[in-house]
């Protein structure tokens, strides 16, 4: 009888632990930043919680058509409900010094998102496409 109790407790504990783990969903996020008001822009990038190590790797952004708007699309499987980030100019000039990081909030489902902002301006907007 004691063995049945131990097995029962083990099964219940296992099911409890498995049910606490959130399922990962695919997130596709396109980041766009308007650099039109900035001087001496040699390169633009993105830093945040989504790099390894966190905040230490710059993801390069490109301006394919020369309009001053730089972009990059990232695709990740995650169970996170948000991600913090900042745009970076010339490898080491972080925007929004002494201000909170930009934040994208995720829903608990697969998503396609476009985030558009202007460098060093807190008015960014998130558009959920899917």
Would you give per-residue pLDDT tens digits along the chain (130 residues)? 555 545 544 444 444 444 457 899 999 999 999 999 999 999 999 999 988 899 999 999 999 999 999 999 999 999 999 999 999 999 999 999 999 999 999 999 999 999 999 999 999 999 999 7
Q: How far apart are CA 37 and CA 44, in angstroms?
A: 13
Q: What number of CA atoms fall less than 13 Å from residue 47's CA on the CB side?
A: 17
Give the global pTM.
Answer: 0.82
Strands of 69-78's sheet, edge to edge? 69-78, 25-34, 111-118, 125-128
Length of the chain: 130
């Amino acid at each position: 009888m004691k063995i049945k109790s131990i097995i029962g407790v083990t099964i219940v504990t296992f099911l409890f632990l498995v049910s606490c783990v959130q399922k990962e969903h695919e997130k596709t996020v396109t980041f766009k930043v308007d650099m039109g008001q900035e001087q001496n822009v040699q390169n633009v990038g993105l830093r945040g919680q989504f790099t390894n190590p966190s905040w230490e790797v710059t993801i390069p952004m490109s301006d394919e058509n020369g309009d001053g708007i730089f972009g990059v699309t990232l695709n990740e499987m995650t169970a996170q409900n948000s991600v913090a980030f900042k745009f970076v100019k010339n490898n080491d000039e972080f925007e929004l010094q002494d201000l909170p990081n930009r934040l994208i909030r995720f829903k608990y489902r697969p998503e396609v998102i476009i985030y558009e902002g202007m460098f060093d301006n807190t008015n960014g907007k998130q558009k959920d496409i899917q």
